[in-house]
Structure 1
Amino acid sequence: MTQEVREFVPSTEYSEGSDSPELLDVHDPQYLTNRELSWLKFNHRVLEQALDESVPLLERLKFLSIFSTNLDEFFMIRFSGLKEQIAEGILKKSPDGMTPDEQVVEIRKLVRPMLRQQMECLNNEIIPLLHDEGIRIESYTDQEGDVRRRLDEYFLNEVFPVLTPQSVDESHPFPYISSLSVNIGLMVDPDPGLDYGKIAHLYDHSRFVRIKLPPNIPRLVPVGEGDSAFVHLSQIVSANTTHLFPNLLPAEPYLFRVTRDADIEIREDEAGDLLRTMERELLHRRRFSFPVRLEIISSMPSEMQDLIKGSIGLTDDDVYQVDGFLNIPDLMPLYKLDRPDLKDRPIVYSIPKALKQPEKDIFSILQESDVLVHHPYTSYKTIVDFLNSAAEDEDVRAIKICLYRTGKDSPIVRSLMRASQNGKQVAALVELKARFDEENNIEWARALENEGVHVIYGMLGLKTHSKVALVIRREGDELRRYVHIATGNYNPVTAKIYTDLGLLTSDEEIGRDASDLFNFLTGYSYQKTYRQLMIAPVALRERMLKLIKRETRNRQDGKPARIIAKLNSLTDDKIVRALYRASQAGVEIDLIVRGICVLRPGIKGLSENIRVVSIVGRFLEHHRIFYFANGGDEEIYIGSADWMHRNLDRRVEAVVPIKDPELGRYLKDEVLGAYLRDTANARILGEDGEYSRLRGEDGERPFDSQIYFEGHDV
């Protein structure tokens, strides 16, 4: 199904709405989509990228892997949360009116056909097409002669010493299966032709044995040197089980994988040392988190299925049969092969026009004008250079920064260390509670402390998700503040694949706001009102609701009224109701929401003036942009917050106005305008909660917003 694209409407125009339809109740739960089901539909849009034959082959494989890792995280966090509610007898309904039980049932209904579609794509399209390109995933049983001997030697020398088979019997309980590990299960029988002597009682019946594939051994083993043919490690281990069980008879091996709850709950008010508490909780999570999903190879006998699922406390409903590779991310080493013909063309990075002044330093440039960076099109080197300059500049007195996800090898952290070594006051808020980055952030926190950096571990009961850096510099008789506020993390790796925005400014009021924010984060202060910034959780929700209500009043008064918001997710029911009321008043609203969207657009009398599109393409859409027509005096903001409960109420977020008219025009006309014209990566959300591809006119070349931005200097 395709839809015609609606052109971007200038802010001076607005929809007249329908002929006074009967207005529906904005509080009715039926007008909200379930959050969990909406997320699954987003992940299906990721899967659609793998199914798209116009996408380069290795990129299609990458999307299959992303689909898998996304789903793993969903089961570890969201699905496990529902299972926990059910176990505790919690019957509270979601905002759309579904109980935890009902949500679990619907999730399973959606997931199973997606998994079948994923495996059909891998088995019937990706692997055969890779074979045609000379990249082969081969079977161990097809290898002969020297090749097989080489693989067996590899097993004996590199794999066998690391393996730890674990049998199940009266003295050996069923082993703990770590989350997401790939395991081999098999039955091992005694050899009836052997006399086991004094220990014959140990070999009087068949036993189940589990073998965990070591996570530190490559899953794809080259068939030959310099070859592009590989055998999966599981096949090599499975073919050599006789070495693991001498004088016994190992039966057919089968792969399985368990997914466990991964959410960390900390009573922060009782944690005397948050860093040590996080370390203990991470260890506890690995050992004792409860299972939520069992994946098995489809050929596994029912008796073995029953043994495994019964031993870990799961039911038939929790079992997912896989017809092929159990863990598709194991294939991602193929993406690193030197095959540019099978990948997206490398992006050509640019530098903002204002920074193309080699005779001036960054601080001189920012004294004259604000600078907007648009990643990945703008090289992230601009941000690294900004912090490097601050670290080396003899007039810089202090640097303060919020670190959420920084990556493993971070030039940002190295800049902070160097600044501290150079005698500057450096303070870093390192958010230890950044999910799945906890261990990495703990390491960076310790490393920064060792270099004399003042490290703050976050705030009690809140995650610090804001992306803010503050540089304080002596200039003559005064101190001047330079600020970087962004939508994305201080992470040069993700900056190459996420779309994000950042504002570099020396604006005095924004600088003073940034100082107040860091005092709130690092000290013991309370600042409810800020001059320019909108900060969660103290005022962002109220400000956003007021901005939406202002557009509603302007439309009622006959003034220009329009809302455009680009978000990762929209789940906050109060924001949704405010948007419904604005639509009922005739405000034209465009929402560009990559992921979850609980709002239902296009319903007469409720949301017929709202359009929702999702952009899923080569890059992960990550920036948040908010545009309001404001009666002709347009306002536009960027920031770290989505319209979600957690962002508005349980996180520290920062949203900044774009005050420079030229930068505001770029965001409205070039960025938002391009997304609203996209006919290559866009799907439009219907009133029934289903997405359909947006296409242009017949014969018209698809417009790809993600390609359009390349080479468009800010």
Structure 2
Amino acid sequence: MDTATNHTSDINLKAHQYYFNRELSWLEFNYRVLYEALDSRTPLLERLKFSAIFCSNLDEFFMVRIAGLKQQEEVGVTQLTPDGRTPTQQLKDISDRLRPLVAQQDQNFEYTLKNQLVAHGIYLIHYVDLNQEQRTYLQDYFQDHIFPVLTPLAVDPSHPFPYISNLSLNLAVVVRDPDTDKELFARVKVPNVLPRFIELPKELKQQQNEKPSIWTGVPLEQIIAHNLEALFPGMIIQECHPFRVTRNADLEVEEDEADDLLLAIEQELRKRRVGKSAVRLEIHASTPENIKHRLMQDLGLEDMDVYEVEGLLGHKDLFYFMSLPCPDLKDPHWNAVIPPWVKHIYYLRKENQNEDIPDGTDIFSVIRKQDMLVHHPYQSFSATVQEFITEAAYDPNVQAIKMTLYRTSGDSPIVKALIAAAENGKQVVALVELKARFDEENNIHWARQLEQAGVHVVYGLVGLKTHTKTVLIVRQEEDEIRRYVHIGTGNYNPKTAKLYTDLGLFSCREELGADLTDLFNFLTGYSRQKSYNKLLVAPVNMRQRMIEKIRREANHCREGASGRIVAKMNALVDPEMIETLYEASQAGVQIDLIIRGICCLRPGIEGVSESIRVISIIGRFLEHSRIFYFHNGGQEEVYIGSADWMTRNLSRRVEAVTPVEDPAIMKELQEIMGIMLSDNRQAWELMPDGSYVQRRPEDDKYEQSTHNTLMKMALKSVRME
């Protein structure tokens, strides 16, 4: 033991070779998403969906991460990342890794998925392959529905190159003037107010072996491209090539200078729409070099910024096909179950339409007896979290509701409940995070509506995003005030609660209520609360407390006992947390990490991380919950909350992680993690070289899919009641 200790103490755990690059690790995550589109075991329309998600993820990656690296490069940043790369090196390495992935996505759709769609009666036809009847119909459709919306923009000395909006699909058109024989250049934007795919009427659909088509249609841009004579009468159309532009879309708000954060962010959103610098150009592989270079020059881009494909641009529009009535080509439909403990309350409230509910038949009476855990999307969000807030809004004994809103849906019942609570005379505080990326506009809208209803709306702390997922309800009960809490891992969003896996704890433990009271005072007032009874709060004490718990496991091992950590999160990036995990591994702690996305820790390195295993679960639901387990010499501790082990979560965001103290709930959370660690269908294992290998069932073993297993368990729980 002493020899091993001496050997490991000589290792510099900050050395570059022990860290993966954040951006390249994210690309590996997005490849795992793409693989669901490549995997023949995935239902066909779900494969299109995953191709769309891969594209949508890449759009955001370029708008934020690539844009940030380019800005660093422009101002001459030379600081190395923990893995030893400069911004310029990262941009090159990203380009080298990403190009084969884009090509793989392109070829998979063009040569595999489209053929399989045809086999099921779904025809996405190229315009040149249409028969004359179909062309005639689309020419008339163009004149009636498309032509009035189009605006051709000439580019010449008197018409400067037009602004190309972010993520827009466009046509670069070259025409020849027959009078002067001069070639002219123009841009036509493919309008996003029209559907990307135009369906042909029933009588013009394709047929195969006398079997009618489910859907037959053509991409919108091809219809425009083959009817350009209407836009340029008297001109000869020489050529036409589609292209797509991605721009820097991150917000830059100097909060110290902003007297009104709401107005400041509204101004930045207008700038985002007006536009910042381009960061990517997507074009068809057949685009001539002169057109390509003209676009590059006008957009201020280099070869590294250009991505060529052979087929469709903008795969995120493939989401469209999920609306087709083809249940056999999709995952089986899932309806979240209503947990037995809340079922009678939920239906009673629906029957009584928010009228007074008899004592003892409300959600608070259940939570008074014991803590409750909910797991979405396996268990219903509307019947639990939404019910909790709605019941509080109408309960005459509830005096105050305080909650954080990071992201919520456009027609949120949660927001409606808060408005009703304010109208019912309750003290209502909503902390709306205006800086929730790409949800800023939605949050501004709801913030104004809440304010108009009398809700106290707070926009958080300068320099910190409020990412915590918490609700505090203050209720008068006989001669005492009792506080009820919900502390979760996910946003209060009914729509994403059907797609994201998240956990939430309901409790009326006095110490948690006191902690949330202090936390909301910290968020809304001038409190500088530094200590909490139970909660781990970032940026106050979470980093320090998590490190202490990891080191405690290491000390148990050094003293001859065992050490065990299982941690589930979205991303592991923070160098200090990684170094602490390395130290624990060197001491002999067995560590399992379940990390959906970015992981900068390198597992399986002799003398550094031999006892660390990392897996990623990718499937029909987006893994979003955070769970932390520490063996603690047999005195086990389990925590859930909103924070990943990223520097931004631990140092630049307000986060809350709560201990779970109910033995039954602790056991349930351990079972959830055990199911994931045993997965041989959706689990990918991280190798020491940074690659991921998908687990497959051995010949004599059944396929064990995390999401399928948890759905079956949820159904079983309601059948047994």
- TM-score, normalised to structure 1, is 0.94
Larger RCO (CA within 8 A; separation ≥ 6): 1
From 499, 503, 506, the equivalent of 1:504 is 506
Q: Residue 369 of structure 1 corresponds to which residue in structure 2?
A: 370
Superimposed CA distance per residue, residues 440-461 of structure 1 (whole angstroms, 9 cap, x where no aligned partner): 1111111111211111122211
Contact 1:147 1:224 survives alignment (8 Å): no
Separation in 2, partners of 1:390, 1:110 = 51
Q: Residue 242 of structure 1 corresponds to which residue in structure 2?
A: 229
Separation in 2, partners of 1:112, 1:697 = 33
Secondary structure of the 2:239 match is coil
Q: Which amino acid in structure 1 is aligned with residue 65 of structure 2? A: R
Change (3 A) 1:311 1:161: same
Separation in 2, partners of 1:288, 1:665 = 51
Change (3 A) 1:537 1:170: same
**Matching of residues 87-106 of structure 1 within 5 Å:** 87-106=74-93
Q: Which amino acid in structure 2 is aligned with residue 207 of structure 1? A: L
Superimposed CA distance per residue, residues 163-199 of structure 1 (whole angstroms, 9 cap, x where no aligned partner): 111111111110111111000111111123xxxxxxx
Contact 2:51 2:318 survives alignment (8 Å): no
Q: Residue 591 of structure 2 corresponds to which residue in structure 1?
A: 589
Secondary structure of the 2:566 match is strand
Change (3 A) 1:56 1:567: same
Superimposed CA distance per residue, residues 633-652 of structure 1 (whole angstroms, 9 cap, x where no aligned partner): 00000000000000000000
Separation in 2, partners of 1:541, 1:204 = 70
Deviates more, 1:659-668 or 1:203-212: 203-212
Separation in 1, partners of 2:480, 2:641 = 29
Task: State, as a whole percentage, how many aligned pairs show the same letter.
Answer: 51
Secondary structure of the 2:461 match is coil
Secondary structure of the 2:182 match is coil
Contact 2:38 2:47 survives alignment (8 Å): yes
From 291, 311, 321, the equivalent of 1:324 is 311
Superimposed CA distance per residue, residues 366-400 of structure 1 (whole angstroms, 9 cap, x where no aligned partner): 00011100011011111111111111111111111
Separation in 1, partners of 2:706, 2:221 = 42
Contact 1:374 1:502 survives alignment (8 Å): yes
Q: Residue 470 of structure 2 corresponds to which residue in structure 1?
A: 468
From 547, 554, 557, the equivalent of 1:555 is 557
Deviates more, 1:109-118 or 1:242-251: 242-251
Q: Residue 432 of structure 2 corresponds to which residue in structure 1?
A: 430
Shift of 1:253: 1.1
Superimposed CA distance per residue, residues 473-511 of structure 1 (whole angstroms, 9 cap, x where no aligned partner): 111122111111110001111111111100011111101
Shift of 1:17: 13
From 235, 239, 248, the equivalent of 1:261 is 248
Q: Residue 22 of structure 1 corresponds to which residue in structure 2?
A: 7
From 408, 411, 434, the equivalent of 1:409 is 411
Separation in 2, partners of 1:354, 1:544 = 33
How many residues align? The count is 688
Q: Which amino acid in structure 1 is aligned with residue 481 of structure 2? A: L
Contact 2:92 2:304 survives alignment (8 Å): no
Q: Residue 135 of structure 1 corresponds to which residue in structure 2?
A: 122
Q: Residue 614 of structure 1 corresponds to which residue in structure 2?
A: 616
Contact 1:187 1:208 survives alignment (8 Å): yes
Q: Which amino acid in structure 2 is aligned with residue 256 of structure 1? A: F
**Matching of residues 430-579 of structure 1 within 5 Å:** 430-579=432-581
Superimposed CA distance per residue, residues 59-100 of structure 1 (whole angstroms, 9 cap, x where no aligned partner): 000000000011111111111111111111111110111111
Q: Which amino acid in structure 2 is aligned with residue 270 of structure 1? A: E
From 293, 299, 304, the equivalent of 1:312 is 299
From 648, 651, 654, the equivalent of 2:653 is 651
Separation in 2, partners of 1:20, 1:214 = 65
Shift of 1:150: 2.4
Separation in 2, partners of 1:77, 1:568 = 18
Separation in 2, partners of 1:504, 1:562 = 27
**Matching of residues 74-223 of structure 1 within 5 Å:** 74-192=61-179, 205-223=182-200
Deviates more, 1:392-401 or 1:342-351: 342-351
Contact 1:536 1:652 survives alignment (8 Å): yes
Shift of 1:334: 1.0
- TM-score, normalised to structure 2, is 0.93
Contact 2:175 2:239 survives alignment (8 Å): no
Separation in 1, partners of 2:698, 2:690 = 24
Contact 2:142 2:224 survives alignment (8 Å): yes
Secondary structure of the 2:311 match is coil
Q: Residue 696 of structure 2 corresponds to which residue in structure 1?
A: 695
Do residues 599 (structure 1) and 601 (structure 2) align?
A: yes
Contact 1:165 1:210 survives alignment (8 Å): yes
Q: Which amino acid in structure 2 is aligned with residue 174 of structure 1? A: F
Separation in 1, partners of 2:275, 2:200 = 39
Separation in 2, partners of 1:134, 1:695 = 32
Shift of 1:48: 0.8
Q: Which amino acid in structure 1 is aligned with residue 455 of structure 2? A: V
Superimposed CA distance per residue, residues 533-591 of structure 1 (whole angstroms, 9 cap, x where no aligned partner): 11101111111111111111111112332100001000000000100000000000000
Contact 1:348 1:710 survives alignment (8 Å): no
Superimposed CA distance per residue, residues 270-295 of structure 1 (whole angstroms, 9 cap, x where no aligned partner): 00111111011111122241111111
Contact 1:560 1:632 survives alignment (8 Å): no
Separation in 2, partners of 1:360, 1:663 = 23
Contact 1:21 1:604 survives alignment (8 Å): no
Shift of 1:146: 4.0
Q: Which amino acid in structure 1 is aligned with residue 183 of structure 2? A: S
Separation in 2, partners of 1:52, 1:606 = 34
Change (3 A) 1:657 1:249: same
Secondary structure of the 2:221 match is helix
Separation in 1, partners of 2:89, 2:70 = 11
Structure 2 gap segments, 5+ residues each? 204-213, 346-359
Contact 2:680 2:703 survives alignment (8 Å): yes
Q: Residue 198 of structure 1 corresponds to which residue in structure 2?
A: none
Contact 1:274 1:457 survives alignment (8 Å): yes
Structure 1 gap segments, 5+ residues each? 1-15, 193-202
Q: Residue 224 of structure 1 corresponds to which residue in structure 2?
A: 201
Secondary structure of the 1:253 match is strand
Secondary structure of the 1:386 match is helix
Contact 2:339 2:380 survives alignment (8 Å): no
